[in-house]
Amino acid sequence: MATDLAVILPRVLIVSRRSVRKNKFVDFVGEYHLDLIVSYGAVPVIVPRVTGVHMLLDSFEPIHGVLLCEGEDIDPSLYEAETSNLSAEEMEEIRRLHASDTAIDKEKDTIEMRLAKLCLERNIPYLGICRGSQVLNVACGGTLYQDIGKELTNKLPLNERVVHMDYDNYDGHRHPVKVVENTPLDQWFKDSLEDEKMEILVNSYHHQGVKRLAQRFVPMAFASDGLIEGFYDPDAYNPEEGKFIMGLQFHPERMRKPDSDEFDYPGCPFAYKEFAKAVIAYQKKLNGLTNVKKSLKLDQEMEKKRKIIVRSFSLARNIYEHGINSSKESELEVGAEFLESNTALSLQQETRLKQIGATVRNSSSYIEKLKLNEEREKLARNVMGKMSVEQLSDLMSFYHMMGQICSEVLERKLHDLVNELSS
């Protein structure tokens, strides 16, 4: 029996982190994340970091939000052709100093990059904490410092340096960040900010950070050494409408007073509160687009026609997905004629049917079109292979922007169509 979307609670996907315990791998997620998501009305769904899960992400649908948090360093090949100017000796020193973070986990990278890009494509609410903010920046074409100490801190005067990782005072360490006015962080911490300083003290557990911020984002906070400590997409931020795309380098969920669950500031849990609000609104919006009225019971003749049309679409889909053509042209014509003559379908339904090849009249010509598309894709890959990192980043940002515009316009039109059918 099909699941009723109306009874599914808002779901937030969180990818686990792998660790070794008693010589065996274990997956875990920090409990503070889970507590806050549940307390604000959503359900955390843990995506295990195990081999092959990146191929099974469709199984986790419906996805109403994604929270990505701690983890190892991101594979530098994902954001720079030439990783950095660090010498082999410096890299070895970094690996020795940050042994728990420098082991690249490509499976986790793949899972989280796919989820981040899915959120960007479908405007699914996304909150990135620490590594999760770095994943978001890289997914949009930004870059990272491979090591803040070597690439930033050591180049600054002593009075401008910031300690971003203190292993001797791990949870107790804080450093100031300056909050940018008229940003969500400003709203959440306004009661704790002084007008002149606009500063709060944040925790810090990272040796990497944003080097070049992706074009679509706006900074929300800076450390005194200039490092970006928070950013968001202002065009994709409206929790009441289900919009939330944000990254925070610090951990507000862990900013607690010693031996207490009391937060350092009243604004600390607001990132989770507003994120959950967006998740709930996104779910309602998604349900409004996908819920349809129960179909009428068809008489025997209409049911026979329906089965013929369904078979036509099924045959077309086999051609579309596998290039298999064991059908007569007349069988494909039934589906094509139905689409041409029927006006009761919504735009979304018609688009989906076209995507699975329902309008195919001649299988051989359709397969030729697929081959032509493959040739075009190959040519595009060759051209882009010769482009610089900056050119590719700009191109990616442009298409992200165009995709967002198309998604918003399509969403609005579908919403209007649903309202018309309901009235």
Query: Is the CB of residue 78 less than 8 Å from the CB of residue 113?
Result: yes
What is the Cα–Cα distance from 230 to 232, expressed in whole angstroms?
Answer: 7
Q: Which is catalytic among the residues 229, 253, 268, 274?
A: 253
Task: Establish whether 119 is a catalytic residue.
Answer: no
Q: Which is catalytic among the residues 64, 164, 251, 400?
A: 251
β-pairing, 228-232 with 43-47? unpaired
Which residue is it, tokens 């969403």?
411
Task: Establish whether 253 is a catalytic residue.
Answer: yes
What is the Cα–Cα distance from 355 to 66, expressed in whole angstroms?
Answer: 27
Q: Which is catalytic among the residues 64, 112, 119, 130?
A: 130
Burial 262-284 (b: 16+ CB within 10 A, else e): ebbbebbbbbbbbbbbbbbbbbe
Task: Establish whether 130 is a catalytic residue.
Answer: yes
Three-state secondary structure readout of the chain: CCCCHHHCCCEEEEECEEEEECCEEEEECCHHHHHHHHHCCCEEEEECCCCCHHHCHHHHCCCCEEEECCCCCCCHHHCCCCCCCCCHHHHHHHHHHCCCCCCCCHHHHHHHHHHHHHHHHHCCCEEEECHHHHHHHHHCCCEEECCHHHHCHHHCCHHHCCCCECHHHCCCCCEEEEECCCCHHHHHCHHHCCCCCCEEEECCECCCEEEECCCCCEEEEEECCCCEEEEECHHHCEHHHCECEEEECCCHHHCECCCCCCECCCCCCHHHHHHHHHHHHHHHHHHHHHCCCCCCCCCHHHHHHHHHHHHHHHHHHHHHHHCCCCCCHHHHHHHHHHHHHCCCCCHHHHHHHHHCCCCCCCHHHHHHHHHHHHHHHHHHHHHHHCCCHHHHHHHHHHHHHHHHHHHHHHHHHHHHHHHHHHC
- What are 254's two structure tokens? 């862990």
Catalytic annotation, residues: 130, 251, 253
